[in-house]
Amino acid sequence: MADPPPAAVGGFVAPVAVLTIDESTYGTQLQAKLAKLRELFQEFDPPALEVFESPPSHYRMRAEFTVSQRDGDLHYVMFSRAGGANAGAADAADAAGAADAADADAAAAPLQGALDAGNGGDGEAAPEAEAETKAVEAAEAEAGPAAEVASTSAPAVNGGGGGAAAAGGQASRKRPRKSPRKAAAALAAARAAPQRIRVDTFPVASRQVNELMAVVRQECANNPVLRERLFQANFHTTLAGDALVTLLYHRKLGADWQAAAEALRDVLAATPTSAAAGLRPHVVGRSRKQALLQDCGHVLERLTVNGTAFVQKQVEGSFSQPNAAVCQHMLSWAQDVTRPAAAGGGGAGAASAGAQGAEAAAGGSAPAAAAVDAGAAAAVPASALPSPVASGPAAAASSAAVLPAPEDDLLELYCGNGNFTEFDRIVYISCNPETLHANLRAIAATHRIARFAAFDQFPYTHHLECGVYLTRR
């Protein structure tokens, strides 16, 4: 099948949100990204591109949601950074994916930030929601009744009839009004703020995430102890069937919450995927400066790399590759390309890093590093490793597996003077083809691309990860 011309889109940007997907478009969107990748790298005369596809749906093992309790109804919410109803539906869900691609090292920071933010209500600490609400209120008040008619889709602020009445009373007060043009501009700016998207099912996430979502929503809605001041729910699942749910609160948690959480675990264990795996999902409760772990705060993932199973301990709140199927492809490819180097004197591949990769395997996170054992390090995705991995024999043989951090200037970061020419073989897994392209230009005179791969970590977005195996000319 011939590739279509490069898509007329921006660069390989961090993933945008995907709430609804059409599986029939998977091949088309992937081919557009591949065409763009081939065009970008054609100056290096690379070999045939090896393509590793994602499952077209249910590919994301983790998901995080704001919990809304407006109007007495408890449901999940995500925020779109694109204005308009249609744009919101297309742009809301892998905002978490953007954090994965750009802020892997600081994966725990948003969690603590959300806990520290706080608010006086029963949910929704997201500052985007507050900014949006205030901007819309102000713009509509300035624009007058005509704008109120045009903005019937604006989210309620206080909920219920009382809130609507109060808003109406404020709008009826006499105060200076802006000109219609300025009022319209203010309303347009408000509409450009992040939009609230209700999420009942999430086809991007694993089937197990969807199963757990439904149960958590129902149990929390019906249990006052679980519900009180709950503002966020995070779900972390695995191919192995192990799962963890984190509930975040704006209140201190006590023994009553722990008892309710244990009962919740029993209900979660009866969901299809958990029951089939014979595993009881873990539940973690968090509030400011407090974390209550029911059983433990991690999951055990089992990744198959070229027919060999590896166990990886993934810690709650720390970075892990969200697309486990593509992660397996990435690891298998990295191991495969380093096999010739290993036969020649000791190469160091992502899937053979061993215990040396423990801290790197956790993406530089100290809590995660403490939880990773030698087997887990061997299973870590290459793009999660922030430092070069080279065993003693590998270094002597001038062979290295380069596994990058998110910084743009990788060569400067790892070698100080930007000199990679001391290595005969280099494995480079990149989450940004454009920065990889810039780095390759710096060493194109001494190294060539012997293997070239693309990994569709975030389907239906512009984002594409890739890998190159470089050998000395």
Q: How far apart are CA 207 and CA 202, in angstroms?
A: 9
Q: Which of 417, 419, 429, 424 is nearest to 453 (CA)?
A: 429
pLDDT interval class at 177 (50, 70, 90): low
Q: Can you give the pLDDT at residue 406?
A: 47
Please determine, for residue 238, whether its predicted confidence score (pLDDT) is greater than 50: yes
pLDDT at 328 over 90: yes
Q: What tokens appear for 300 in the block?
A: 């055990």
Best CATH choice for the domain 63-298 from the list 2.40.50.1070, 2.60.40.420, 3.30.450.40, 3.40.50.10140:
2.40.50.1070
Provide mean pLDDT across the span 228-242.
96
**Average pLDDT value for residue range 23-34:** 95
Per mean pLDDT, which range of 198-207, 361-370, 411-420 is the poorest? 361-370
Cβ within 8 Å of residue 207, ≥6 positions away: 58, 272, 273
Residue 176's pLDDT band, with cuts at 50, 70 and 90, is: low
Confidence class for position 186, pLDDT limits 50, 70, 90: confident
Residue 199: what are its φ and ψ, rounded to 5°? -125, 115
Mean pLDDT of all residues in 75-94? 56
**pLDDT value of position 72:** 85
What's the whole-number average pLDDT of the chain? 71
Q: Give the least confident one: 35-39, 85-89, 413-417.
A: 85-89
Distance CA 339, CA 394 (A): 12
Question: Which residues are registered as beta bridge partners of 29?
Answer: none
pLDDT at 173: 52
Per-residue pLDDT reduced to its tens digit, 288-310: 999 999 889 999 999 999 999 99
Cα–Cα nearest to 244, from 386, 384, 95, 371: 371
Among 44-53, 112-121, 210-219, the least confident range? 112-121
pLDDT above 70: percentage of residues in the chain: 58
Beta bridge partners of 471: 425, 448
Domain boundaries, the chain: 23-57+323-472, 63-298
Q: What is the average pLDDT across 3-28? A: 65
User: Measuring CA to CA, which residue among 349, 376, 375, 352 is closest to residue 363?
Assistant: 376
* 1: its two tokens: 């099948």
Confidence grade of residue 386 (pLDDT, cut at 50, 70, 90)? very low
Confidence of residue 163 (pLDDT cuts 50, 70, 90): very low
Comparing 3-17, 63-77, 142-156, which segment has the lowest mean pLDDT? 142-156
Residue 210: which residues within 8 A CB-CB, separation 6 or more?
58, 201, 202, 203
In this prediction, residue 354 has a pLDDT band, given cuts at 50, 70 and 90, of: very low
Give the span between the Cα atoms of 128 and 194, in whole angstroms.
Answer: 6
For 193-234, give the DSSP string.
SPEEEEES--TTB-HHHHHHHHHHHHHHHH-HHHHTTEEEEE
Range from 92-101, 351-360, 457-466 carrying the lowest mean pLDDT: 351-360
Rounded to an integer, the average pLDDT of 211-225 is 97
Q: Binding site for S-adenosyl-L-methionine: what residues are annotated?
A: 321
Residue predicted with more confidence, 350 or 215: 215
> Which range, 163-177, 390-404, 453-467, is most confident?
453-467
**Each residue of 37-57: pLDDT tens digit?**
999 999 999 999 999 999 999
* Residues 23-57+323-472, CATH architecture: 3-Layer(aba) Sandwich (3.40)
- How confident is residue 412, by pLDDT bands cut at 50, 70 and 90? low
The yes-or-no answer on residue 431 being catalytic is: yes
Rounded percentage of the chain residues whose pLDDT exceeds 90: 45
The better pLDDT of the pair 179, 96 is held by: 179
Q: Is the pLDDT of residue 110 over 50?
A: no
Asked if 95 contacts 18 with a C-beta cutoff of 8 angstroms, the reply is no
Is the pLDDT at 282 greater than 50, yes or no? Answer: yes
The predicted structure's pLDDT at residue 423: 80
pLDDT band at 319 (very low <50, low <70, confident <90, very high): confident
Checking if the pLDDT of 198 tops 60, the result is yes
Q: Over the stretch 135-154, which tens digit does the pLDDT of each residue have?
A: 444 544 544 433 333 333 33
Confidence of residue 12 (pLDDT cuts 50, 70, 90): low
- Residues annotated in the binding site, as ranges? 321
Residue 237 has pLDDT above 60, yes or no: yes
Catalytic position from the list 220, 327, 431, 466: 431
Q: Return the minimum-mean-pLDDT range out of 18-32, 171-185, 225-239, 291-305.
A: 171-185
Which range among 24-28, 188-192, 347-351, 435-439 has the greatest average pLDDT?
24-28
- Please tell me the predicted confidence (pLDDT) of residue 17: 60
